Structure 1
């Protein structure tokens, strides 16, 4: 006998479901809480499926809410659902296909329930569902067919990988060999809704390169070509999407049709329906990635490039996003990351959504969604990078026409196209830049904000060339570099928020390309404009401005440490600092900016150190204390990383800048106990990375203050040496480096306890199978440095690492760390010279001979090692290795 609900319980549930859909019900939270409590009733899901499927007299919205609740219950509590209840839900859901409900929402909701069971329970555990759904495709009831196909599409979307691997019954026939042939005929069904569902379902397996697609490829391609010009735009959109996926995943199968397909995509790319055009435009981007078929596209480029160029022009719909095509000036700055440099700038999340609500309404198309303009610009960039002059030879004459159009939209699209082509076609475009850059400089002052905005970005794409003109001639400096610099600074103070953001990002890119030589002469005027912007900007654009100032500090370095510069720059920054609460996330980008400034100013930051240092320590302390005090605290899992990470980064900048002058601030604070606490939380790599970096910085700057805490910290550093989790890569690097800094300063009797364990972990890292160059170089330096104070212990390991160590060290640039590492290595070699065979001795002498600027201590050790081998080797042996020492510069030690 089939299960029946208990009337009282059913009525109580129905009342709750009715309350849940009342828009003016003020007790929604209580309603949902009571609904959630029903999960304690074993047969709750049976009640829900009863309301959804069988209670046809009930309001359809109430039934749909019951179904959505059932779906979520199955997804979230599948393994806790009693098998008898699950079987009942399966039975009732599938039975509904025999007489599908008249309401579309109810039908879709039942399909979602079936999908949830297949996803959580896997196809193999409910093969009947697929069999019934596919068989229902042959039903004479159109509602049943649509419901079955819609459900299949959902299952394909949510469970494609499982379906692709599943087999039918016991004969190992792939499930898709049963499904795909039944879907393909629907590509030409009279009902456009069914055509869309069938293509969409199949596309999920094209992405997986399913063997079943390949088996049915001929029939599938024929069905797509039959509807290639379908009158329904949604169908054409799916057809274009399918062809793009097929090109990417089944390239060989499309080769016979490529010319026909290219012509079709050119046609679709010009569609008045932007969604169809957008899908077609992606075809060119995918094509550029496939080296083997590039030659097929070359004859069509004269057709493709003008179509893409035309797609860059703002449509009326685009302009409605900004309130029309007229100039919309606004004194309030705004921010997005459209133009931010990918290799330097930090990203910060905003928490002031309420304050920026009006700003967000103007978010440009590059961030709100993938528009046709963005796809077109991306495709043009990809094609230029791939085909170089074959594209630029077509593009540049077209741009010459566009850039001098009377329509500002055409001019703007031409400037965008020039910027999109910049990276991939710089060599081809460079000869034309002496004419183009003055044009761009002029348009940085265009009366239209859209044009100024995109010109800032395009100018940034040629920053390398512009900066390079400074070194070529005085003419290059005055005609190109200085006018760009001047105009970008003006645009930073533009009345349009969108232009401000573009100018800040463009100027940051210019700063990254430039050196002190190009920036320092202009520091007064740069700082004047940036600090004026500091007083003008607010909210999101202000964060971008902080990045621009930080990039400047990083680029000019110690040249910023001039009284005049400090007097202009620091007061507005400190004013902002004082105006922010400790809980305000706007503090993070300011802290990041001050990190770069503190590092650059060095001792010049001393007057600002006390309040900044104290507040950073307090932020870390408060965050740790509040986390530990939290009842839900569990091994830092709920830690708000940024309130620790960003202050620690700034403290590192201060320590690096001030050197040993920082020691009083460290001793008077609770920083070191906090670092010891942070070092123990290995579940938070975000915290460990800056913690270990700061430990290393403190070891260099004020080792005496750090010393009492090292016995607690060192085991944690060593534990990370063998952590090969990719997420912990920077943590591992910083731990290796910090150990190296500690090893050259810690007394022998304290350090020797750890040396064997450290070497055991580091030696494997310098062998060829280790892939990270940075990791290898840090390991090389630390291994060598262990020989400074503990050479006796390290000497026992010398046979296991000497050749790999010498091989890796040869390509490392000379600096203080490499110098000290070689000092330690030489001390080890003096104790155990026989560990080096003839090949290793040659490598060592060759390195000694080529060293350009060894320290006095290293020079002495080089002489001792060289003399040692001269006395140890026979005359014949010495004559074999000596030439490696003598093919050198004048810094090689003299050997009698």
Structure 2
């Protein structure tokens, strides 16, 4: 059956028309009957034919026709491909229907069809553009349809060639039209064009003349329409963000325009303009560009850093003494600690920073935040040069009687901490004392921002040459005091700042552990959800900072009982609070070591039960997807973390838990889980057990090694890194028994080493494990061995002294000794690598020395002299001191 042959049956047509008419009656009982009737008639094989017949028949009322269009749109997925083609033709004709509501229904149908079939409907966009450019009564619906198609295309993440196919046809017409006098939709066109420029700038660069578009936008800049001004500002931001050179000739006028709009009373317009300063700081030429304007710009930013009425209204319920009030739903999102179960050598990796936006996460991005971020970035670009302009302003407003202006000054002081630290050092003794005293201000917003600003100067405070009583202890004391502030936002700010203080202070905290734990104890008594999450973080950071100095009995008896109470209070594994406690334990246990033993059994049983229950729920969901919900796997992931920490902290005491439970069987399942994080943590745990109780694992090791090798997938960084690490550990305990698996292991390792677009840490881990393979199986060979050895030398030279590095270098020496080609061509890389040791073991030092001397003899005195003359002096010195060569 097709459209051409089909004819309606009169009785059915009448029935459908009556149902549609009834559907227009606003009566709940009638509407229920309509739904029942629709359920029945929708089963007609030619129901869509009737709807289209009614839709295009002007003898029916406009309301009935429009409703038939809505039903047809909702039923598009059931229309056959052949009939879709006919429906497309009809829709293009009906876009010029005399009824506006019918045209709108047709537009919706077109949009629904185009969602998945735009590529196979090339005439659609051309047709709509022609209708739009005619500028008649049908232009509006053509434009509306085009806009919706474009917006859907952005959201759909279609291939770039499909996006380019549309943009090159549509946007040249749009951008030329906004320059015409009769254009009254500039705002809509600029908004849409900016959306595409923001998401697909390179595609748009090929689709439109960016210089022409920019000129059109500049010509519209002086409009009185606030919304249009926002889009104009956004255009300038996009051009700078993408370093589009066509904006350079207009920079002076653009900057003056945006400075003006940055002072607008309309907060959204001022925010959009302020984005420009943040974008400009990403340019290498930022200082050169903004220097002529910086004296006028800085006061604008400072003024905009004051809390707006909008922001104060949002936080109005949390400005006073609210510490006894229960947290709201928005406060219960946990502040998760960092992931630690990817085995990384962090000797030269940047440490992760805490977010500055520790609390006002539910306010969103505001003019205040954007201005502060802009000042922060400008301070980094301009450095101490900013202080000449800023200090007079800060001196004036830091002691302002209006506490909101004083608060904004303290925020500014925090914002410039990174970029202007050298110029500020002479002022810091006064400023730090001022900030510590500001922690006693009556207004909670001042105490909140002072905590953050103090955290920005923690490095100077902790490393000050002054006595601890001058800055260190006063800072620690004031932050601990405000753990129990009567305002919860201040509590959270103090906790966040204290975490940063702990990270910086590290072992300097040891004399004050007891004092710190007293503060934590008071926090357990007073805190609600959000503050508790941050308290768990502070405990974890303390553990990482002082290590096993925290394991003293008097410390453990203060810390563990309240923490375990929180642990046992949670009955729901998926509860965010329970997950937060688990995360805290996972960071605490390695520091407590055997002092955790009294609490280990209950924690182990909980974690094992959690993993069992999650896996069972997952099986139930797979078998009965319509009856069961998929389980939340995050708690199971954190449970793996805790077990991993127990294995590290308890060492041999952990073995009894492993041998008397089904943990190894569970790991066989979780190491195959679809979640990268689950596999990453379970493989890390298995690797720790390899070192701890390999004899227990050995009986079925042949089932597990293939799983580990399968996870050597460079597309999953953390998983691959851990799998490579485990293979190195297996080599250490299995020796040459690893041989049956070497073909697959070596193939994966070499592939990863030869893949340049991989995280350096993964390359390093693979190099260490590969060299360990060479140690236990020195006779193995791989393609391009000299190239592989060179890569390994370059990678493992950056690893700090450790047992892993020791084993890897023994393997490296083996393979270098056997590879004469490497010794002839690129031996300098080996020399550089062995010079990276600070204190190698005596026997390893002798092995390296023998390789160096054997190679020197192979070269001969004359050639070795020429070769050795290429070495930098520091390398010669290291080789002589370490190995006498």
| Secondary structure of the corresponding residue to residue 700 of structure 2 | helix
1:866 offset after TM fit, Å?
5.8
1:279-298 pair list within 5 angstroms: 279-292=272-285, 294-298=287-291
Tell me what 1:575 maps to: 565
Residue in 2 aligned with 1:350?
none
The alpha-carbon deviation at position 687 of structure 1 amounts to 1.5
| 1:221-232 mapped onto 2 (5 Å cutoff) | 221-232=214-225
Change (3 A) 1:874 1:229: closer
Q: 1:149 to 1:746 in 2, by over 3 A?
A: same
Deviation (angstroms), 1:215: 3.2
What's the TM-score, normalizing by structure 1? Answer: 0.84
Determine whether 1:589 maps to 2:584: no
Cross-structure match for 1:661: 653
Find the counterpart in structure 2 of residue 743 from structure 1.
Answer: 731
Deviations 1:528-566 (A, max 9, x none): 111221232233332222122111111111111111110
**Corresponding residue for 1:644?**
636
> Which residue matches 1:357?
none
What is the correspondence of 1:190-201 to structure 2 with a 5 Å cutoff?
Answer: 194-201=185-192
Give the Å deviation of 1:698.
Answer: 1.0
| CA displacement at 1:641 relative to structure 2 | 2.5
| C-alpha separation in 1, matches of 2:800 and 2:125 | 65
Counterpart of 1:131?
127
Query: Is the 8 Å Cα contact of residues 306 and 404 (structure 2) preserved in structure 1?
Result: yes
Task: Indicate the SS of the match to 1:657.
Answer: helix
Q: Which residue of 2 aligns with 1:356?
A: none
Change (3 A) 1:699 1:565: same
Q: In the alignment, does 2:158 pair up with 1:159?
A: no
Residue ranges of structure 1 left out of the alignment (5+ in a row): 347-361
Between the aligned partners of 2:91 and 2:499, the Cα distance in structure 1 is 62
Note if contact 2:128-2:146 (Cα within 8 Å) is conserved in structure 1. Answer: no
Residues 816-859 of structure 1 deviation map (CA, whole Å, 9 limit, x = unaligned): 110121223334556x3646524555654665566432234424
Against the structure 1 CA distance between its residues 415 and 793, is the aligned structure 2 distance closer, same or farther, given a 3 Å change threshold? Answer: same
Q: Measure the CA separation in 1 of the matches of 2:56 and 2:425.
A: 68
1:704, distance to aligned residue in structure 2 (A): 1.6
Q: Which residue of 2 aligns with 1:355?
A: none
Aligned length: 846
CA distance in 1, matches of 2:359, 2:56: 45
1: CA distance, partners of 2:416 / 2:337? 18
Q: CA deviation at 1:699?
A: 1.3
- Per the alignment, residue 476 of structure 2 pairs with 485
Residues 171 and 208 in structure 2, CA contact (< 8 A), matched pair in contact too = no
Work out which structure has the larger RCO, using CA pairs closer than 8 Å and 6 or more positions apart in sequence: 2
Separation in 2 of the partners of 1:339 and 1:673? 31
Aligned-pair CA distance for 1:69: 6.3
- Aligned equivalents of 1:511 and 1:151: distance in 2? 57
Q: Which residue of 1 aligns with 2:666?
A: 674
C-alpha RMSD of the superposition: 4.1
Q: 1:305-316 alignment to 2 at 5 Å?
A: 305-316=298-309
Give the distance between the partners of 1:461 and 1:51, measured in 2 at CA: 69
Question: Which segment is superposed worse, 449-458 or 90-99?
Answer: 90-99
Which position in structure 2 is the counterpart of 1:733? 721
User: Do the aligned residues in 1 keep the contact of 2:335 with 2:533 (CA within 8 Å)?
Assistant: no
Matched residue of 2:440: which SS? coil
Matches within 5 A, 1:558-637: 558-585=548-575, 586-632=577-623
In 2, distance between residues paired with 1:465 and 1:41?
78
* Residues 102-148 of structure 1: per-residue CA shift (max 9 Å, x gap): x7xx876654443333332226615245434543454454xx44444
For the residue of structure 2 that corresponds to 1:422, the secondary structure is coil
Cα distance change of structure 1 residues 368 and 94 upon mapping to structure 2, 3 Å threshold: farther
Tell me if structure 2 keeps the 8 A contact 1:460–1:509: yes
Q: Indicate if the aligned counterparts of 2:128 and 2:143 stay in contact, CA closer than 8 A.
A: no
Which of 744, 757, 762 is matched with 1:757 structurally? 744
* Displacement of 1:733: 0.6
Q: Does 1:241 align with 2:234?
A: yes
Of the structure 1 ranges 846-855 and 587-596, higher mean CA displacement relative to structure 2 is found in 846-855
Q: Which string of whole-angstrom CA distances, capped at 9 and with x for unpartnered residues, describes residues 270-297 of structure 1?
A: 1111222121111212222233465332
Structure-1 residue corresponding to 2:391 = 396
CA contact (8 A) 1:180 1:212 kept: no
8 A contact 2:306–2:407 mirrored in 1: yes
Q: Tell whether 2:849 aligns with 1:854.
A: no
Aligned in 2, Cα 1:163/1:254: closer, same or farther, shift over 3 Å?
farther
Maintained 8 Å contact 2:775/2:811: yes
Question: Does structure 2 retain, via aligned residues, the 8 Å contact 1:298–1:390?
Answer: no
User: Offset of 1:263 from its aligned partner?
Assistant: 1.4
5+ residue gaps, structure 2, are 155-159, 342-356
CA–CA separation in structure 1 for the residues paired with 2:73 and 2:290: 47
Go from structure 1 to structure 2 and tell me whether the alpha carbon gap of 1:882 and 1:147 turns closer, same or farther (over 3 Å shift).
Answer: closer
What do residues 695-753 of structure 1 show as CA deviations (whole Å, max 9, x unaligned)?
111111222222223211101212233x221xx111111011101001111153x3121
- The equivalent position to 2:14 in structure 1, one of 7, 21, 45, is 7
- 2: distance between equivalents of 1:536 and 1:697? 38
Partner Cα distance (1:637, 1:312) in 2:
46
Corresponding residue number in structure 1 for 2:402:
407
In structure 2, do the counterparts of structure 1 residues 198 and 836 end up closer, same or farther at CA, with 3 Å as the change threshold?
A: closer
- 1:408-423 mapped onto 2 (5 Å cutoff): 408-423=403-418
Where 1:647 maps in the other structure, the secondary structure is helix
* Partner SS, residue 308 of structure 1: helix
Q: Distance in 2 between matches of 1:27 and 1:548?
A: 58
In 1: Cα distance, 2:59 partner to 2:295 partner? 60
2:717 and 2:759 in contact (8 A); partners too: no
Partners of 1:492 and 1:501 within 8 A in 2? yes
Moved more, 617-626 or 850-859: 850-859
Structure 2 counterpart of 1:811: 798
Q: Deviations over 1:544-593 (max 9, x none)?
A: 22122111111111111111110111001111111112433222111111
Q: Would you say the 8 A contact 1:336–1:501 is kept in 2?
A: no
Q: Which residue of 2 aligns with 1:251?
A: 244
1:87-166 to structure 2, matched below 5 A, reads 87-88=86-87, 91-92=90-91, 95-101=94-100, 111-122=107-118, 125-132=121-128, 134-136=130-132, 138-141=134-137, 144-159=138-153, 165-166=164-165
Deviations 1:286-319 (A, max 9, x none): 2222334653322112222211221121233332
Cα distance change, pair 887–379 in 1 and its aligned pair in 2 (3 A): closer
Q: After TM superposition, give the deviation of residue 803 of structure 1 in Å.
A: 3.3
**Partners of 1:339 and 1:457 within 8 A in 2:** no
After TM superposition, give the deviation of residue 608 of structure 1 in Å.
Answer: 1.5
**Stretch moving more, 314-323 or 612-621:** 314-323
